[in-house]
Structure 1
Amino acid sequence: MMRGLKIFVHCFVLSASVYSQQYYSSTPLTVLILDNNAPFSSKDASGNWVGFIPDYVKAVAAQAGLTYNLAVQADGVYGMPQADGSWNGLIGALASKKADIVAADLVITPQRLTVVEFPTPYIAVGLRILLPASATSATGLNYVVLKDGSDQEFLQTSPDPKVQAILANIQATNGWLTSYQDGVNRVLAGGVAMVGNEVQLRPYIDANPGKLKFADGEALAQSYYALAVQIGSPLRDQLSIAVSKVNEDGTTSALLRANKIGYIQRT
């Protein structure tokens, strides 16, 4: 059973104006994804794409009547604003028109909405605190969070005093992570609590039975995964309609279950 999983169905009134803005092209679209990002997207021993994202893009594209080629984001990151005002990662590539669509476990955030657009989300997830199983709470522990991602952005923009206290602790102790695996290793070693996305953290809990758990209580925040397109692209509405249909007919749920995404622990 997929506890806590929310699949989105967005209803549209289909009109001539929607159809008139559909994307038509004689060449396939470029869909940018991440490698080594299981269970969302990675390559098997034969070099074939596997995971939720390749299958999900195939289903959505078929529904929308689109052809495409998959391409890999070279720097392997989701994207954060840089000192010169540009963006790196998937978001930067999309904003600079190097791709037509980004497909990943990409969180919709206020900052990202300034440079790209998102169709209907495909799943809602929460930002949670990961603890050693022996800990009763995060009291007395130092916090860590993945650097240059949506988790960090949430901490930096939330007005919640509890969240600001977590951010201050991270800044004081240099609790920035290079990967989720790095954070999990530090939590397992003891003395550390990790702020992270529950969907991404759940496989680590399953892989370490009796060693890891989520902190009691509600999530720090609710976030949403979605595809992304360039600002002003007619693909946004076209993809939203297609996403709504594959959400509604059960395709999205089936693909998430097949890849064991969305099994959320409630403690």
Structure 2
Amino acid sequence: MALRIFRLVAILCFPILLAACGQQSPPAGPSKKVVVASEASFPPMEFVEDSGAIVGFDIDLIKVVAAAADVELEIKNVAWDGIFGALKSGTADVIASSVTITDERKGQFDFSTPYLRAGQVILVRTADKGAFPDLASLKGKRVGVQISTTGAERMQKEPVELKQYNTAGLAVIDLINGNVDAVMIDRPVADYYAARKAEFAKKVVVAGEPYTTEQFGFVVRKGDAELLAKLNRGLEKVKDDGTLAKLEEKWFR
């Protein structure tokens, strides 16, 4: 009798066990990659090398920050005039592209803790090294800037003939060709063109000290607290273990 009862219970319970098995959650798939937008025409911060790879200080930094925070990345080259739109639309999740932290931008996006301090400087032809010691000396002159940058914003306050370009490199080319008298640009980029980029070195020089003090940060959509926390955690790790200092030495010295 006991055996019959056991068999009956087993028969009755078998469909229930099958149903329970069918309700188990499927194995988790691979985690979604975080898409990073970077305007790769701003050496040494971010640029495309001969192999086609996107490289630079910001690229190295976002990679080590992501690794420290256990985040998988996909890096995309996005034009500067569309980079914030890509973030808003969801095409990108993070901007890693030498973005200055400003109150206006903070009203629309969230920023990581700052990772680099920089400033806007004037780049001139080597022959004009002593001609423009300050902004006042640029009065009435043709000054090139990249569109929608803090350099463009700063020079709009000055009595100059402002010429705006889609990339910083185009502005520097026009400087060498004599189409503008000066270019306002971030100090690390100005130093790179003046000293390390072969086709520009010795043709251009930084005139004077920075006219602004700025801090760069990674950018995420407003309210994306989870991703922001991961980036900040990764930044803290690479600052503490000396990785950030090593990257500065690699790209700026």
Distance 1:57 1:252 in 2: 10
The one-letter code matched in structure 1 to 2:188 is: V
Alpha-carbon distance, 1:236 to partner:
1.5
Whether 1:48 and 2:53 are equivalent positions in the alignment is yes
Distance 1:65 1:31 in 2: 15
Whether 1:231 and 2:231 are equivalent positions in the alignment is no
Q: What TM-score do you get using the length of structure 1 for normalisation? A: 0.69
- For these two proteins, the number of residue pairs brought into alignment is 211
Distance 1:220 1:45, change over 3 A: closer
Alpha-carbon distance, 1:140 to partner:
5.5
Secondary structure of 1:111's counterpart equals helix
User: Residue 240 of structure 2 is aligned with which of 233, 245, 248?
Assistant: 248
The superposition leaves residues 124-155 of structure 1 with CA deviations (integer Å, 9 ceiling, x where unpaired) of 00112233324252525514122222222344
Structure (1 or 2) with the greater helix fraction: 2
Whether 1:67 and 2:60 are equivalent positions in the alignment is no
**Residues 175-190 of structure 1: pairs in structure 2 closer than 5 A:** 175-188=163-176, 189=178
Secondary structure of 2:194's counterpart equals helix
Distance 1:191 1:49 in 2: 29
Moved more, 174-183 or 49-58: 174-183
The superposition leaves residues 79-132 of structure 1 with CA deviations (integer Å, 9 ceiling, x where unpaired) of 4xxxxxxxxx21111122222111112221222212211101111001122333
- Contact residue 45 and residue 189 of structure 2 kept, 8 A: no
Moved more, 242-251 or 27-36: 27-36
Backbone CA RMSD of aligned residues: 2.6
Higher relative contact order (CA 8 A, sep 6+): 1
User: Residue 214 of structure 1 is aligned with which of 199, 207, 218?
Assistant: 207
Distance 2:169 2:96 in 1: 22
Distance 1:110 1:143, change over 3 A: farther
The one-letter code matched in structure 2 to 1:226 is: G
User: Residue 133 of structure 1 is aligned with which of 120, 129, 132?
Assistant: 129
- Contact residue 91 and residue 112 of structure 1 kept, 8 A: no
The one-letter code matched in structure 2 to 1:179 is: T
- Contact residue 95 and residue 115 of structure 1 kept, 8 A: no
Distance 1:70 1:99 in 2: 9
Aligned to 2:190: 201
Distance 2:105 2:179 in 1: 34
- Contact residue 91 and residue 116 of structure 1 kept, 8 A: no
Mind listing any 5+ residue stretches in structure 1 that lack a counterpart?
1-24, 80-88, 157-163
The one-letter code matched in structure 2 to 1:194 is: V
Computing the radius of gyration over CA atoms, which structure comes out larger, 1 or 2? 2
Query: Once superposed, which parts of structure 1, at least 4 consecutive aligned residues long, lie more than 6 Å away?
Result: none
Mind listing any 5+ residue stretches in structure 2 that lack a counterpart?
1-29
The one-letter code matched in structure 2 to 1:249 is: D
**Residues 100-119 of structure 1: pairs in structure 2 closer than 5 A:** 100-119=93-112
Q: What TM-score do you get using the length of structure 2 for normalisation? A: 0.72
Alpha-carbon distance, 1:186 to partner:
4.6
